[in-house]
Chain A
Amino acid sequence: MKITKVFPFIILFLNIVGLLAVYSTDPLRGESAFTLTFFGRQLMWCLLSWLIFLVFSRIDYHWFIKLEWILYLIIILSLVAVLFFGSGDDIGARRWLFFRSVQPSEFSKVGFAIFLAAFLSVQPEDYGSWQLLLKTSLLSIIPTGLIFLEPDLGSALVIIVLWFSALFFCGFPWKKILTVFAGLVGLIPFFWLFLHDYQKKRLLSFFAPQSDPLGTGYNVLQSKITIGAGGFWGKGWLSGTQSQLRFLPAHHTDFIFASWCEQLGFIGGIIILVLFLWLIWTIFRVGLGAPDLEGKILTTLFGSILIFQVLINIGMNMGVMPVTGIPLPFISYGGSSLFVNMLAMGIVWNIGKSGGNEEWE
């Protein structure tokens, strides 16, 4: 069977798992009208996101590539707009535009990936050069900084990851990549000054979660307890005490993986991991088969975003990654993240369908 035929089914499976997970952790389940419950809204967004997925899979991706600088401009402008006109959320971060309907930082992930693919695909002769590295670094640092100021540490990291992935896949030598990485690590103390207290706490608690069991470390500790308590087979559907009794915070968003594992155990966790592995594997297969540079770069960048988010989120659920507020793609409750991921997957599917000269299994 062709990969392009299988591709939407993997996404469908992930969507179904996501809906089940949101249903099982819905704080309002049975307590309000269906359309107001988290599950109800997620179902609606899921259907909408399929519309987006199907529409974007039919638009030739070259059309987006042509937008290049316009896209970049839109990203920068919307991010600046957020800083001035954005509405805040409960922890004091300004992330929303248009009455809390659009999160520019989410869309800038996809937008910046497209821009990078477009920008890099026209100058293959410069791959590996310091000159190109410097250019891309400047282009990346602006949106990263703007998102960082909101602040949205997770999304800012995604932009940096996109830049690194671009360097990696465009064949920059290891030495240069590592030099840049070392430079960034050296800048961490500088960034530390811009971090909010809650972010500093989160990062610190990652290194010593036991030190503050009532504060940030509490989340991580409870998350580990939640996964561990599930055991091999889980406590059963809807029977997880950790999430049902709300010991686990954000159990329908950031910590949805742990809630899922509490109910369905090791087996349930494996299902999610296998689905993600399958999906990302497929995306890179599409990249291998893409007909042109922009297609290849774009798929690998989308794949990179996905693997980064999965690694950080599931790692955070298991207490081996810091708490950064990155949701689990397709599974965590939330419309923006779902739309953006489905949009990206639509583009990947389109690239896959246009790559005719590779062999398909």
Chain B
Amino acid sequence: MWNEKPKIIINHRIELFTWILLGIFVFLFFNLWYLSVLQSGFYQEKSERNRIRVIPLQAPRGIITDRYGQVLAQDIPRFVAILLPGSADPEKSRQTLEKIIKRKIKEPLRNRYSGEIVLASQMSIEEVAKVEEAKKELPGVMIEAYPKRIYPPGENVAHIVGYVGKINTEEMKEFGPTNYNNEDVIGKSGIELNYEELLRGQKGYRKIEVDALGRIVRILDTSSPRFRHTLTLTLDLELQKYCNELLAGKNGVILVGDPTNGELLAMANQPSFDPNLLVDGVSQEEWNELISNPQKPLTTRSLQALYPPGSIFKLIVGLAAQEANIAPQERTIFCPGYYEYNNSKYPCWRKSGHGRLTFENALAQSCNITFYTLGLELGPNKIVDMAKRLGFGEDTGIDLPGENHGFLPTSRWKRQKFAEPWYPGDTINLSIGQGYLLVTPFEIFQSIIAIANRGIVYLPHFLKEVQNEKGERIEGILPKVKNRIELRPDTWEILIKGMTKVITEGTGRACHDLPLPVAGKTGTAQNPHGIDHSWFAGFFPIDKPKYAFVVFVENGGDGSGEAAHRSRDLIQWIYDHRENSFNENN
């Protein structure tokens, strides 16, 4: 070889490079060891999470029916398209989806519990079919069915059945994240809220192994969701609808129930709202509109609104007077049309006066003078005591959430509030259900039941029975005595006689031509804000009461008018359509 020097240079560099080579391999060895030995556990877990997905399967909620099996609430299937994380760009997938189902999706993209992205919810079965056909264009997109709640009778039962909605953060805190996920629906009001535990189904899940495109390779484990209970209510949907018709165009309440067992048959509240609109969540605007509506459609008037009872309250004053035995049958009180006390004149509603009246007739004519006299003789404490015994100002125990209590004024309260003593004038007002006194329609309803049953009040309830998923009855609600008011037997009988006379010859003559005897009482509540409120309450048949009712019309004027005429129609309807109920032996 003619020149060895370059060769030596190259050989020298090769030997040098051998070290670099070793260095590179040591570097690679170290990295491999780091990944597959040191960090192996960490990556193994990541790899598991890559391929195993637990998909919760939403359970349908229990069905709610009325006493005759008419559906009040049930679930229908709707579909949601979700995107598995890491499989595609959510925005692009959304656009592709929109192209496939040919509609704009308005809801914002959002994350679900397990990190999946919700592309579209509320998809119909037709849209799902289109998506399944175009599956290849939508890698990582999965369709899941979910139950959507519907309320076929809509507005008619809104205040009883209530509605469901997505769980909010406060509810999440209350019920705990172990029981609910952030996509779950939960009862928001009414029966849906009160019996959430029974209605809520048992969630299922599906553990699946997926490939990188989100395609299911195999199902590892499945647990089917179960809906657990069907609730049958005591509600009579036909009757409920009729009650709503009776109130049409007015604000008011109609309550109908069975005094012999506490079952509630109808509870119409007007105005009402459509619970179907609230299930999917309304926009902030719509919600604001609902709650700022001056008519307050969301308020359950029967349980939550407070009104002066007016002459209806004479029933309570009458009970107190009879119990104190200050108005025996032979005692009469003269009504000249006004009552003079301490140089003030308190009028009777009939300016010409009623003349001489026995207690029964005074009740029938709703004579103020008689009740002023009796009230002053009793004093406010005895009246309030009787009201308390009848359940005013206390929980009624009804199986609906959010009930309010009426207000029974006392001298102590008045002193604290106005720094004034209790005047006899206050007692006079109290005697005819005016002044500071406020009640809920349901409290009046409870006192009517107490009278009809001669002191026995059953726990009021809407739930009739609970069936399991096979349709077997697992729990029937038996009548439970909530309150036993021990009064002299005569007290009840005299009151009932008076109430009978209300219909036959008194203020409730609107009901006198009914085919069966009815006991009732009218009420005209003076309303400082406008036209008087109109009350009518009663029960029938008199000897063996099967129905108790309260009709209340806001600004309905005279009790013997609006409320009494509606009551008449109500009783007639029940007589025509529910004839059999009078022959039942229970």
Decide: A218 and B6 in contact? CB cutoff 8 A: no
Cβ 8 A contact of B9, one of A170, A287, A314: A170
Q: In whole angstroms, what is the CA distance A320 to B24 when docked?
A: 12
Which chain B residues lie closer than 8 Å to A265 at the CB level? 36
Contacts of A280 in B (CB 8 A): 21
Q: Which of B15, B24, B42 has the most CB of A within 10 A?
A: B24
On whether the beta carbons of A171 and B50 are closer than 8 Å, the reply is no
Query: Is A236 on the interface with B (CB-CB < 8 A)?
Result: no
Task: Indicate if A226 sits at the interface (CB-CB under 8 A).
Answer: yes
Describe B's contact surface by its main secondary structure.
helix
Q: Cβ of A307 and Cβ of B24 under 8 Å apart?
A: yes
B25 touches A273 (CB 8 A): yes
Q: In the complex, which residues 26-52 of chain B have their Cβ closer than 8 Å to any Cβ of chain A?
A: 28-29, 31-33, 35-37, 39-40, 42-44, 46-47, 50-51
Give the contacting residue for A247; candidates B13, B18, B28, B50; CB below 8 A. Answer: B50
Binds B, one of A89-97, A137-145, A289-297: A289-297
Smallest CB-CB separation from B47: which chain A residue? A229
Interface pair B6/A127, CB less than 8 Å apart: yes
C-alpha spacing A186/B6, complex, angstroms = 31
Residue of B13, B18, B211 touching A169 (CB-CB under 8 A): B13
Asked if A293 and B10 make an inter-chain contact with CB atoms under 8 angstroms apart, the answer reads yes
Choice from B3, B6, B13, B47 contacting A225 with Cβ under 8 Å: B47
The answer to whether B50 and A228 have CB atoms under 8 Å apart is no
Is B145 located at the chain interface by the 8 A CB criterion?
A: no
Closest residue of chain A to B49 (Cβ to Cβ) is A225
When the two chains form the complex, which single residue of A168, A261, A276 contacts B13, counting CB atoms closer than 8 Å? A168
Q: How far is the CA of A291 from the CA of B10 in the complex (A)?
A: 12
Q: Are B47 and A311 in contact (CB under 8 A)?
A: no
A221-246 CB contact bits vs B (8 Å, 1 = yes)? 01011111111100000000110011
A277 to chain B, nearest CB (A): 5
A102 at the interface (CB under 8 A from B): no
Is B35 in contact with A227, judged by CB distance below 8 angstroms?
yes
Nearest B residue to A247 via CB reads B212
Smallest Cβ-Cβ distance to A269: which chain B residue: B32
Docked-complex contact B10 and A241, CB < 8 angstroms: no
Segment 256-315 of A: residues with Cβ below 8 Å from B: 261, 265-266, 269-270, 273, 276-277, 280-281, 284, 287-288, 291-293, 296-297, 300, 307, 310-311, 314-315
Q: A171-B6, A224-B35, A242-B50 are in contact. Are A214 and B17 (CB under 8 A)?
A: no
List chain A residues, Cβ under 8 A from B17.
168-169, 284, 300
Contacts known (A168-B17, A293-B6); A226 close to B47, Cβ less than 8 A: yes
Tell me, rounded to whole Å, the shortest Cβ–Cβ distance linking A215 to chain B. 9
A246 to B32, Cβ gap below 8 A?
A: no
Q: Are B212 and A230 in contact (CB under 8 A)?
A: no
B89 within 8 A of A: yes
- Complex Cα distance, B20 from A280, in Å, reads 12
Contact B51 A232 (CB under 8 A): no
A136 to chain B, nearest CB (A): 15
Which bucket holds chain B's interface residue count?
35 or more
B9 nearest in chain A by CB position: A171
Please give, as numbers and ranges, the residues of chain A lying within 8 Å of B529 by CB-CB distance.
none
Report the minimal beta-carbon distance from B50 to chain A, rounded to whole angstroms.
5
**Contact of A318 with B by CB under 8 A:** yes
Are B36 and A284 in contact, with the CB atoms below 8 A?
no
Instruction: Decide yes or no whether A124 CB sits under 8 A from chain B.
Output: yes
B100 contacts the other chain (Cβ, under 8 Å)?
no
Residue B281 at the A interface, CB < 8 A? Answer: no
Once the chains bind, are A228 and B36 in contact (CB under 8 Å)? yes
Cα separation A215 to B472 with both chains bound (whole Å): 55
From A124, A225, A277, A307, B5 is in contact (CB under 8 Å) with: A124
Q: Which residues of A contact B12 (CB under 8 A)?
A: 171
- Partner of B7 from the list A227, A261, A270, A296 (CB cut-off 8 Å) is A296
Partner of B50, one of A225, A227, A261: A225
Select one of B24, B35, B37 contacting A318, CB under 8 A. B35
What are the residues of chain A within 8 A of B35 when measuring CB–CB?
A: 224, 227-228, 318
Interface string of A204-230 (1 = CB under 8 A from B): 000000000110001000101111111
B403 contacts partner chain A, Cβ-Cβ < 8 Å: no
Nearest residue (CB) in B for A168 is B13
Tier of interface size on chain A: 35 or more
Contact assessment for A314 and B28 in the assembled complex, using a CB-CB cutoff below 8 Å: yes
Q: Mark B202-217, 1 if CB is under 8 A from A, else 0.
A: 0000000111110001
C-alpha gap A277/B20 in the complex (Å): 12
| Cβ-closest chain B residue relative to A241 | B51
Instruction: Give Cα A242–Cα B52 distance, bound, in whole angstroms.
Output: 12
Find out whether the CB atom of B47 lies under 8 angstroms from the CB atom of A242: yes
Contact A213 B86 (CB under 8 A): yes
A-contact bits for B85-97, CB 8 A (1 contact / 0 none): 0101100000000
**Is A232 a contact of B32 with CB atoms below 8 Å?**
no
Q: Which residue of B lies closest to A265 (CB)?
A: B36
- B16 to chain A: closest residue by CB: A168
Q: Which residues of B contact A307 (CB under 8 A)?
A: 21, 24
| B-chain residues with CB within 8 Å of residue A318 when the two chains form the complex | 28, 31-32, 35
CA distance A232 to B32 in the complex (A): 10
* Chain A residues with CB under 8 A of B474: none
How far is the CB of B69 from the nearest CB of chain A, in Å?
A: 50
User: Given A214-B89, A245-B51, A280-B21: A300 and B43 within 8 A (CB)?
Assistant: no
| CA–CA, A218 and B9, complex, Å | 45
Q: In the bound complex, do residue A287 and residue B14 qualify as a contact, i.e. CB atoms below 8 Å apart? A: yes
Interchain CB contact (< 8 A) of A228 among B6, B24, B44: B44
List B contacts of A168 (CB < 8 A): 13, 17
- Cα A293 to Cα B44 in complex, Å, equals 51
Rounded to whole angstroms, the CA-CA distance of A270 and B51 in the bound complex is 27
> What distance in Å separates the Cβ of A128 from its nearest Cβ neighbour in chain B?
9
Assess the B37–A266 pair: CB atoms within 8 A.
yes
Which residues from chain A contact B86 at a C-beta distance below 8 Å?
213-214, 218
The reply to whether B40 and A311 contact each other, CB–CB distance below 8 Å, is no
Checking A171, A213, A277 against B25 with a beta-carbon cut-off of 8 angstroms, the contacting residue is: A277
The residues of A that contact B11 with a CB separation of less than 8 Å are: 288, 296
Q: For window 142-172 of chain A, which residues contact chain B by CB distance below 8 Å?
A: 168-171
Q: Are B37 and A124 in contact (CB under 8 A)?
A: no
Query: From residue B201, how far is it (CB to closest CB) to chain A in Å?
Result: 32
Q: Cα distance A248–B17 when bound, in Å?
A: 34
Asked whether, in the complex, the Cβ of B51 is within 8 Å of the Cβ of A247, the reply is yes
**Which of A214, A229, A297 is within 8 Å of B10, CB to CB?**
A297
Does B419 touch A at the CB level, under 8 Å?
A: no
**A residues adjacent to B (C-beta < 8 A):** 124, 127, 168-171, 213-214, 218, 222, 224-232, 241-242, 245-249, 261, 265-266, 269-270, 273, 276-277, 280-281, 284, 287-288, 291-293, 296-297, 300, 307, 310-311, 314-315, 318, 320
A-B contact pairs, 28 of them (CB 8 A): A124-B6, A169-B17, A225-B46, A227-B43, A228-B35, A228-B36, A228-B44, A228-B46, A229-B43, A231-B37, A241-B50, A242-B50, A247-B50, A247-B212, A248-B212, A261-B32, A269-B32, A270-B32, A276-B25, A280-B21, A288-B11, A292-B1, A293-B10, A310-B28, A311-B24, A318-B28, A318-B31, A320-B31
Q: Which 5 A-B pairs have the closest CB atoms?
A: A228-B43, A124-B6, A229-B47, A171-B9, A245-B211
**Other contacts beyond A228-B44, A247-B47, A315-B31: 15, CB < 8 A:** A171-B10, A214-B86, A225-B43, A228-B35, A241-B51, A245-B209, A249-B212, A266-B32, A266-B37, A280-B21, A284-B14, A284-B18, A296-B14, A300-B14, A310-B28
Residues of B at the A interface (CB closer than 8 Å) are: 1, 3, 5-7, 9-15, 17-18, 21, 24-25, 28-29, 31-33, 35-37, 39-40, 42-44, 46-47, 50-51, 86, 88-89, 209-213, 217
